[in-house]
Amino acid sequence: MITGLALKTLRHRRAAFAGAFVALVCAAALVCACLMLLETGLRGGVAPERYAGAPLIVAGDQNVHETVTKSSGKVKTKAKPLSERVWIPEATAAGLRGLPGVSKVITEVTFPVNGHALGHGWESAGLTPFTIAQGRPPRENGEVVVDARAGLSVGSVLRVRGEAYRVVGVTAQALPSQDTVFFSTAEARRLAGRPGLVTAIGVFPHVDVSPVLNDHLVAYTGDERGTVEFLGAERARVRLISLGGALGGTSLLVAILVVTGTSALAVQRRRREIALLRAVAATPGQVRKLLGGEALLVASRPASSDRRPASASGSGCAAGSSTWAPCRRTCAWWSARSRRRPPCWPPWPRPGPRPGSRSAAPRGSARSRRWARPPWAGACPSGGRSRASSASPAGSC
pLDDT tens digits along 155-182: 999 999 889 999 999 999 999 989 999 9
CA dihedral 67, 70, 75, 77 (to 10 degrees): -30
Average model confidence (pLDDT) across the chain? 76
pLDDT class of 345 with cuts at 50, 70, 90: very low
Going from N- to C-terminal start, the domains of the chain cover 1-46+230-309, 56-226
Across 195-204, 207-216, 321-330, 361-370, the highest mean pLDDT is recorded for 195-204
Integer Cα distance of 178 and 117 in angstroms: 6
Q: What percent of the chain has pLDDT over 90?
A: 29
pLDDT class of 362 with cuts at 50, 70, 90: low
- Secondary structure letter of residue 153 according to DSSP: -
User: CA neighbours within 13 Å on the CB side: how many for 235?
Assistant: 9
Integer Cα distance of 95 and 313 in angstroms: 82
In this predicted structure, which of 137-146, 184-193, 358-367 has the lowest mean pLDDT?
Answer: 358-367
Integer Cα distance of 120 and 50 in angstroms: 10
More confident residue, 7 or 315: 7
Q: Which of 263, 236, 384, 214 is nearest to 19 (CA)?
A: 263
Give me the amino acid identity at 33. A
pLDDT digits 0-9 by tens, 82-112: 888 899 999 999 889 888 889 999 999 999 9
Environment class of residue 394 by beta-carbon count within 10 Å: exposed (0-12), middle (13-18) or buried (19+)?
middle
pLDDT at 89: 92
The pLDDT of residue 238 is above 60: yes
Report yes or no on whether pTM surpasses 0.95. Answer: no
The pLDDT of residue 139 is above 80: yes
* Residues 319 and 349 sit within 8 Å (Cβ to Cβ): yes
Distance of CA 64 to the CA centre of its chain: 31
